Chains A and B, each alone.
Chain A
Amino acid sequence: MAEELIKKYNIKKVENCIYSIPKTADMKVGALLFLSESLLKNVEDGAMKQARNVATMPGIQKAAVAMPDMHEGYGFPIGGVAAMDIEKGCISPGGIGYDINCGVRMLATPLTKDDVMPKARQIVEAMFEHVPCGVGSKSDIRLSQEELNKVLNKGARWAVDNNYGFEDDLEHCESNGSLPDANADYVSSRAKERGKNQLDTLGAGNHFLEVQYVDKIFDKEVAKGFGIEKEGQITVMIHCGSRGLGHQVCSDFIREMEKTNPELLQQLPDRQLVYAPLGSDLAKRYFGAMCAAANYAWCNRHIIAHRVRTAFKQVFGTKPEELKTIYDVAHNIAKIEEHVIDGKKKKVMMHRKGATRAFPAEHPEIPKAYRKIGQPAILPGTMGTASYILVGTQKGLEMAFGSTAHGAGRAMSRHGALRQFRGETIKKELEAHNIIVKSASWKGIAEEAPKAYKNVDEVIKATEGSGICKIVARVRPIGVVKG
């Protein structure tokens, strides 16, 4: 497969763990792939085709970029990154995804593995009880139309104003958990209807809460700066997004973009790549609504973190403020950013789909606390395997628009996983490795079986091998709540 693909797409090796697809007539730029040799061998033809399709989009700058966990998605590949000229470019919902601002928040606790292991089952049960999860789960928070609009316009700030979490959390959150360009008026009533009872819910699928311990610190100084003091320290990861509200925003605008420009559909290599030209009223409204959905997701993770703190207080007697936010990253989003292109600073509409922003030290957009060390990038693995904390590098900023992978990346279909694995068996296997799993459904566990994913260590190898990020620490799971 690899040989055929390399030939088909004329893939060239640039340097260690970096490959390129040279520009051809229909492409506006080439494509740049951050993959190890073994990852390259396993990339689907469909994912390559999608990376190539991205390079044909109007106003794309430098290169269509794909991260080490790239795999086939719809529109953009998962792990797709593209910078569009702010005046002549476009914004495409297919380059962001339906789950707008799906992302990860990570908390550092003062507890150690020895404190938590004996009560692993209790903390998993307590988190499961405090955070509604699974299909159709409902939250206890009832929002009026007016309050929902505030959530959409203010993001995680709304949560702090309403006594969930702390000011300090906002300071350790990408964009402080609130995008100023959000405009709740651009979000349809249908999307609001879907979202009004889902704030403070985890959802299902690959969303999870995980209690972990620091298994290895690779860079002591940076780790310390992030609040990771020692091996054995307990951390928590929260992975979820903007729920039905975000999905509906994406869908509403895909449909409107199609209806507004039917001729465009004839020219596109994939209908899912439909876009609005930047500067148009439609692009302005989509961007405002997308930012609003991103704010909803940040508010959601923020409130869920509050529930996790409550669960920890109940089981371990820790004070809520003792669980500190390390960082909160978005991995399905578009943002206006400044990047150096052809030697000049230029404003672009940065699309990241299944990719995490990872800015280096001294970048003005990262929290003051991290200005000297660089931005933490959080890379969750699977239920049974390690997750990583990385830090952005200058090379990553220059070559990958300051981006990195967002996870292990699936290797097997959910359907395939369901055929091969049984939830009960996976649960027992994980328990034999001292990992407690609790899910709203057995099926959910089987679908997310560790073997259904790529080896996260291989993704890390390509990330560090290419130099787009540096490894800071590795964590391993103790307890998992799956939606």
Chain B
Amino acid sequence: MKYKYLEHTADLKFQAFGKSMEEAFANAAIAMFDFVTKTGQIEPKMEEKIEVQSEDNKSLLYDFLEQFLFLIDTKRFLLHEIKDIKIKRVNHEKLKLSATAVGDAADHKYQIGGDIKAVTYNDMFIRKEDDHYVVQVLMDI
């Protein structure tokens, strides 16, 4: 299972899973786009490089997901998959994430349903449980 949606009255809440933190982050992006459209139906036609640098795990996840809201608004970008995601510590204080987002520009051929306004920190967590990672995110929709 890549992710699961949780009950929340007003907003979109989900948990995403992965063997590594990178994979859990990538699956969080998939969970987000599966709400907007269906990542499976999006053709891999364009690539966007993503690079964010943040002060801790939570802000890294926040900044990473926010990149997509910017891409949706400015390039009508819809995600198909995340490739080559890497997280590394650049100095003692900062974390750096780099990835390639593969997808296509929104078009009439795609069914687009949900709209996401913003990422929030509400009830956010990033946990290592036994041999896998779980991240929880609530998005304002």
Contact = CB atoms under 8 A, between A and B. Distances in A.
Interface of A: 44, 71-75, 78, 97-99, 134-136, 190, 193-194, 198, 203-205, 243-244, 247-248, 250-251, 254-255, 258-259, 262, 270-272, 410-416, 440-444, 447, 483
Contact of B36 (A135, A198, A413): A135
Interface stretch (B3-11, B22-30, B127-135): B3-11
B10 A78 contact: yes
Name the residue among B59, B63, B73, B74 with the largest chain A CB count within 10 angstroms: B73
Nearest to A74: B122
Interface of B: 5, 7-12, 36, 55, 58-59, 62-63, 66, 69-70, 72-74, 76, 106, 111-115, 117-122, 124, 138, 140-141
A96 to B, nearest CB: 12
A74 B121 contact: yes
A483 B117 CA distance: 13
Contact of A194 (B7, B73, B122): B73
Contacts of A248: 69-70
Given A205-B117, A414-B12, 19 more contacts: A71-B10, A72-B8, A74-B11, A78-B10, A98-B118, A194-B73, A198-B73, A247-B69, A247-B118, A247-B140, A250-B118, A251-B118, A254-B121, A255-B63, A272-B120, A272-B121, A414-B141, A415-B12, A441-B113
11 contacts: A73-B11, A74-B140, A194-B73, A244-B69, A262-B55, A270-B122, A272-B120, A415-B5, A415-B7, A416-B7, A444-B114
A99 B112 contact: no
Contacts of B121: 74, 254, 270-272
Binding site secondary structure of chain B? mixed
Given A72-B9, A136-B112, A98 B55 contact: no
B56 to A, nearest CB: 9
Nearest to A195: B73
Contacts of A44: 9
A410 B10 contact: yes
A259 B72 CA distance: 26
Contacts of A72: 8-10
Nearest to B77: A136
B9 A98 contact: no
A411 B114 contact: no
Contacts of B138: 74
B114 A251 contact: no
B76 A413 contact: no
Given A251-B66, A258-B59, A410 B9 contact: yes
B72 A135 contact: yes
B73 to A, nearest CB: 4
Contact of B113 (A75, A250, A259, A443): A443
A411 B9 CA distance: 6
Nearest to B107: A136
Nearest to B36: A135
A247 B106 CA distance: 20
A413 B7 contact: yes
Contacts of A244: 69-70, 73
A235 B62 CA distance: 41
Contacts of B8: 72, 413, 415
A438 to B, nearest CB: 15
A194 B74 contact: yes
Given A135-B36, A255-B59, A272-B120, A443 B9 contact: no
A182 B28 CA distance: 35
A71 B117 contact: no
A72 B141 CA distance: 13
A403 B124 CA distance: 31
